[in-house]
Structure 1
């Protein structure tokens, strides 16, 4: 077996009948902390295998989740099959965490940390406000390239790119079509694949107003509950990551004002994604955070 291959994979049945694979690596020490890795927008879990392997070698249990409809998730967004930020935080994350702990024979309250990329970091902050965060003993969030998509946090070039994404994904996909089909005339113009219209409408508002108010179907007031979160946050970024400037990190962290915040620069010119394929610097920072 290759070093980057998981020990096992748990296939989680989701409420819409789709299946989400959770790739799992078992540490040598049964009492090791579990690290849940959450992908970024449009990214599949397989991309993070070198990171998971390196974390396991550093002494952690590791599980890579999927965002619904991405990677190896079988969910397919349509006008009638929708999900949003709340569904990901309240349904997908808990089901995948439970599957990982069960596969590793860990107790429900076994210590757990998140290592979250980009969109995965946004959802992680929402999850931290939920009662399941205490149930599953979430002890900290380590985000890489994880920030708010709020347009005011970005320079002109990236602001224009995000604005175009908001028009296509949130406007055309979310409001006009009811979902973003991914390819239009055979081409994926924004590079994020097929996406749920509900999620994209919420992302568009996040981009325009830095707002997470009134998420579709929410069973708690996320904005109010995030203010109560007190677990440590560590947000890192590569110096050349134009998709997550420091102001974007600050805008996301502002939702959790009572959570101790550490900001780090990831050594090397690893951009927004490449650190997951060349994970040594991130694993070193994570291990000592």
Structure 2
């Protein structure tokens, strides 16, 4: 990464049902299905998504799992001086990881790619879709699971107040300490996080937009109006961290894209779908067909 940190990528080619270690290199025959690039949620390491990656690979898709900066196997450690936010991950981590995955899997740079994003991964993914790198890398669709905005108005009851009040506490810690530390000050349970990322997230909670991002090189709000590819936002029926209104709020960021918001009936919560992957893998395969039809 540009900050000299390293972020590992977990890889499955279309013939394996276990992560390739070492990387599989050029496959014996080109795969016939798009690359599925999985992006984790906040505070989640890439390894958590191995079951869904294995399921998708078993169905014939090459799969890669990226790592959000500072999480899982990433070597980045946030501090008062080492900071990053939404823009840095959308403009650096996402394109660099996709390029590296394709290189190791022997796929062309513009090989058709679908992003499968969880929670925070989808928020960053929506920014990435508005960047030129998304088209250069052949991104033809994004499926979110439990991806919505954290805007408190999209929640009800205690969850709304928890976001409203908790975000002020998180911002105060991030400003005062310079980052979100582990331990008693980690009120959200996401672990150590970059101060800039937390501050931008708290703005999202109260304003439902990401119009102010550190070091941003573009007007993301305007750029997102140009996105046209298919997007599917799903949430499981008992996902308290992403009610339907939260997903609908995220969908509004791409007003001219073909965005669908739907509920998955199975009670797989906010995270469990990644460990019990059949339902989401089946819906992802259906969405893949929709993306391919749209791309032709």
Partner-residue secondary structure (3-state), 1:20: coil
Give 1:211 deviation, angstroms: 1.7
* Residue of 15, 21, 24 corresponding to 2:8: 21
Contact kept in structure 1, 2:148 and 2:248, CA below 8 Å: yes
Q: Which residue of 1 aligns with 2:179?
A: 179
Instruction: Provide the aligned length of Structure 1 versus Structure 2.
Output: 273
CA distance in structure 1 between the aligned counterparts of 2:186 and 2:194, rounded to whole angstroms: 15
Aligned with residue 269 of structure 1, among 257, 267, 270? 267
The match for 1:250 among 248, 266, 279 is 248
> Secondary structure, in 3 states, of the residue corresponding to 2:115?
strand
Tell me if 1:209 matches 2:196.
no
Check the 8 A contact 2:229/2:258 in 1, yes or no: yes
Q: How does 1:32-111 map to 2 (within 5 A)?
A: 32-111=33-112
Counterparts of 2:245 and 2:170 in 1: how far apart (Å)? 23
The aligned runs of 1:117-196 (5 Å cut-off) are 117-173=118-174, 175-184=175-184, 188-196=186-194
CA offset digits 1:87-106 (Å, max 9, x no partner): 00001111100110000011
Q: CA deviation at 1:160?
A: 2.1
Deviation at 1:163, TM superposition (A): 2.6
Deviations 1:201-256 (A, max 9, x none): 10000001102112110111100000110000101111111110111011111010
How far the C-alpha of 1:183 sits from its partner, in A, is 1.6
Question: Which stretches in structure 2 are left out of the alignment for 5+ residues?
Answer: 16-28, 288-296
Q: Secondary structure at the match of 1:122?
A: helix
Per-residue CA distance 1:239-285 (angstroms, 9 max, x = gap)? 11111011101111101011112222223211100000001000011
C-alpha separation in 2, matches of 1:232 and 1:212: 21
Aligned to 1:227: 225
Whether the aligned pair in 2 keeps the contact of 1:267 and 1:281 (CA below 8 Å) is no
* CA deviation map 1:163-221 (0-9, x unaligned): 34312322212x2111011223xx74421000000011100000011021121101111
Residue aligning to 1:197: 195
| Mean CA deviation greater in 158-167 or 215-224 | 158-167
Root-mean-square deviation (Å): 1.2
- 1:159 shift after superposition: 1.2
| Distance (whole Å) between structure 1 residues aligned to residue 241 and residue 52 of structure 2 | 20
Q: Which one is further off, 188-197 or 95-104?
A: 188-197
Deviations 1:109-159 (A, max 9, x none): 000000000000000000000000010010000000000000100012111
Name the SS for the 1:288 alignment partner: helix
- Matches for 1:269-288 after TM superposition, within 5 Å: 269-288=267-286
Preserved contact between residue 115 and residue 141 of structure 2 (Cα < 8 Å):
yes
**TM-score, normalised by the number of residues in structure 2:** 0.90
Q: TM-score, normalised by structure 1?
A: 0.92
Rounded to whole Å, the distance in 1 between the matches of 2:210 and 2:172 is: 17
Q: Which residue of 1 aligns with 2:25?
A: none
Q: Does structure 1 conserve the Cα–Cα contact (< 8 Å) formed by 2:248 and 2:261?
A: no
